[in-house]
Chains A and B, each alone.
Chain A
Amino acid sequence: MHPASSVILFNTFSGLGFGLLFWLGMGAIVPMGSSAFIWFAIAYILAVGGLIASTFHLGHPERAIKAFSQWKTSWLSREGICAVFALIVMAIYGAGLVFFETPLALLGIIGGIASLGVVFTTSMIYAQMKTVPRWRHWTTPAMYLTLSIGGGALLSGQVLIASVLLIVGALLQVFAWMTGDTRFKASGTNMETATGLGHIGKVRAFEPPHTGTNYLMREFVHQVGRKHAEKLRIITIGLAFVLPVILLLLPFSHVLAAFAVLSHIAGVLTLRWLFFAQAEHVVGLYYGKR
């Protein structure tokens, strides 16, 4: 799959922002007054900034309002509704802290759960795709949720919870990669089922339908970065998980904490890039590619 930068930015930063909103809503940290304003501003800049970035890949972003209508079947529609609901509820909860120094605990919990709902519905957009066997697995939502609440815990300075969640995240990601590598083959879709010609013999793409490229090849057949996948996986684990945990376990300082956050963000950006670049869509088979 084509690793579109708008979608990578959205997944990374909105995930972090909603993770931070989750912990704020759950009352893990209860800042008051101007300090609350800063916390909520950070969370909203990340969450909303990511959402805005995600509209850059739309052909007609001005019609985005229509995307709230099909929640009965569409995970993208559910994600949009969940995001608006979570942002409104958390804004009210945040206003209570900033202006009245009053935590409306129940509202916070509802907003916190809705924030996780946004991350879950996002992950299901990918996990539902039967056409991309690597994504169609429980590890996809599990990874999205772990990264979001782990990153949120890291941002909100909860050393123990963040360390545990980052270690769990690293193990989960390694498991997702190892099992994901064999899932395309295991899906049973191959050139023989794609063409229905397997009963005659082995099928090979002889001539493509056109001399140039097309939308399908640009969007679904991305082979360029895969040769460095192994190295990038090691970089991902190092930056997203191992380095932040080491920095957290050192005696606390704000500089080290800031480095931990930056390292984590760089690692998650790499992880998201790999999530797309390594995902093979079955349509590539018609072109004899993956």
Chain B
Amino acid sequence: MTQLPPPSAKKLGLVIDLDTCVGCHACVVSCKGWNTENYGAPLSDQDAYGANPSGTFLNRVHSYEVQPEQGEAQLIHFPKSCLHCEDAPCVTVCPTGASYKRAEDGIVLVNESDCIGCGLCAWACPYGARELDAKEGVMKKCTLCVDRIYNENLPEEDRQPACVRTCPSGARHFGDLGDENSDVSKLVAERGGFDLMPEQGTKPVNKYLPPRPKDEMPEFDVLAPYLEPIASDGKGFVGWLDKALSAMPGGAK
């Protein structure tokens, strides 16, 4: 049913640390791999080795430049996938009931055998978390690796989303954001985790941790005065060399 269930006590989701993400795209690759080989229709590519490659991905990494009013610009890598919103607008617009939010843990899923591929859920999502697969004609989205996290055939350390398991810099965390004593909830409280586009009223479960403030460069270097490399007064041998070279054809004036 596309009516949203009452808010669940358990809210499984991701916490993404924008301070530690190095933008390596390993999460993108592991997500594509796992979700092509397992649950649901594979994530197809079109013209993969041609001039205009394009394909379905459930997780993509953007990179942004942020310019403070004073000081250096920062480059911030920004992974983005489904935020498993509490008020998920993608669920209520679905005409067939294919799109649903699980009452037990809050994961938003698509029942692919009911999906007519109208694309309305992708229109309703402000985050671009849903992509219509060009080959299968059904809507694909992050499942929070529902086929891993409860999978008792996997070793316990693998029972987390593929992107989290893969991340080499520890920038992705998985857990229950409905439990305020969980590791992820504590991390959000400690680091000031935030929502994307809060004004859209979607109440995302996934949170983002802001980059930590950058170290300040020291204002002076005690050795600097002794290391001045260039004679700017133009006397002696250096002065003569400067004049001689400048006088040659094509020399700097």
A→B interface (CB under 8 Å): 1, 57-61, 63-64, 66-70, 72-77, 80, 125, 128-132, 187-189, 191, 193-197, 199-216, 219-220, 281-283, 286-287
Contact = CB atoms under 8 A, between A and B. Distances in A.
27 contacts: A59-B133, A60-B138, A63-B114, A66-B116, A70-B95, A73-B3, A73-B93, A74-B120, A130-B89, A130-B124, A131-B89, A189-B126, A189-B199, A193-B197, A193-B199, A197-B18, A199-B210, A200-B74, A201-B66, A206-B75, A207-B63, A209-B25, A209-B28, A210-B57, A214-B54, A215-B54, A219-B132
B194 A196 contact: yes
Contact of A203 (B53, B54, B64, B123): B64
- What 4 pairs between A and B have smallest CB-CB spacing? A59-B117, A59-B137, A209-B60, A201-B68
A130 B117 contact: no
Contact of B93 (A75, A193, A205, A281): A75
A282 B126 contact: yes
A213 B118 contact: no
Given A131-B126, A207-B62, A200 B93 contact: no
Contacts of B75: 206
Contacts of B197: 189, 193-194, 282
B83 to A, nearest CB: 12
A148 to B, nearest CB: 21
Given A196-B196, A215-B56, A286 B62 contact: yes
B126 A59 contact: no
A137 B70 CA distance: 40
Contacts of A214: 54-55, 57, 60, 131
Main secondary structure, interface of B, reads loop
B145 interface: no
A60 B93 CA distance: 17
Interface residues of B, number: 70
Contact of A195 (B2, B78, B123, B137): B78
A287 B92 CA distance: 26
Contacts of B242: none
A208 B52 CA distance: 15
B93 A76 contact: yes
Contacts of B251: none
Nearest to B192: A199
Contact of B132 (A59, A75, A191, A204): A59
A61 B116 contact: yes
Contacts of A76: 93, 95, 118, 120
Contacts of B211: 197, 200
Contacts, number: 197
A215 B64 contact: no
Contacts of A200: 66, 68, 74, 210-211
A216 B60 CA distance: 12
Contacts of B76: 195, 197
A124 to B, nearest CB: 11
Given A61-B116, A73-B3, A199-B210, A206 B65 contact: yes
A91 to B, nearest CB: 23
B198 interface: yes
A212 to B, nearest CB: 5
Contacts of B200: 130-131, 189, 282
A132 B122 CA distance: 12
Contacts of A131: 89, 123-126, 200
B181 interface: no
B119 interface: yes
B135 to A, nearest CB: 10
Given A63-B116, A215-B132, A80 B61 contact: no
Given A195-B196, A197-B66, A207-B63, 19 more contacts: A57-B118, A59-B117, A59-B132, A66-B95, A67-B96, A67-B116, A67-B118, A70-B97, A188-B199, A194-B197, A196-B196, A200-B74, A201-B73, A202-B67, A203-B64, A204-B65, A215-B134, A216-B131, A286-B80
A236 B1 CA distance: 41
A59 B123 contact: no
A74 B131 contact: no
B2 A210 contact: no
Contact of B2 (A74, A191, A286): A74
B195 interface: yes
B63 A206 contact: yes
B94 A210 contact: no
A129 B124 contact: yes
Contacts of B123: 1, 129, 131-132, 219-220, 281
A272 B126 CA distance: 23
A283 B127 contact: yes
A67 B201 CA distance: 26
B69 interface: yes
A204 B67 contact: yes
Most buried by B among A80, A187, A212: A212
B136 interface: yes
